[in-house]
Amino acid sequence: MDESKKRKKILTPLEAKGKAENYCAYQERAQQEVRNKLYEWGLHQEEVENIIVLLIEDNFLNEERFAKAYTLGKFRMKGWGKIKIKQHLKAKNISEPLIRLALKEINQEEYHKKIDETVKKKIKKPISSISFIEKSKLYTYLQSKGFENDIIYNKINI
């Protein structure tokens, strides 16, 4: 493949703004995701920050809305616990207060029900009849899904 096909087209700030609006309209995005995309499109720092400001003003970009949507989506669709969701939001440079606000969106009753469903999917028999080793593996699995240690402990009574 020759060099001209490898190079990405560098966008003007106006083209990039339009493309970024479409990118944000498609699904909720974190500011950092949009910032990375703008850099990828060949824009410089000042242009990127100006576009970010315009996207926020036009309500295409909203960190709180993103954090809440991300939290509920990962919880309901992927069955993630609060710890894993929090780690992933931090990786997207979401602030601690917004993370706390987003995690409050998860209904506690629904959260415990999700853990119970996850346990039932993983083991096909009652918890009381599984061995210590099986409980240990279940504990590790639930931790990997991002559920809190004390809640896991109470659910499987190790």
Q: What is the pTM of this model?
A: 0.86
Token pair listed for 96: 């601690």
- Comparing CA positions, the residue from 144, 47, 29 lying closest to residue 93 is 29
pLDDT in tens, 28-83: 999 999 999 999 998 999 999 999 999 999 999 999 999 999 999 999 999 999 99
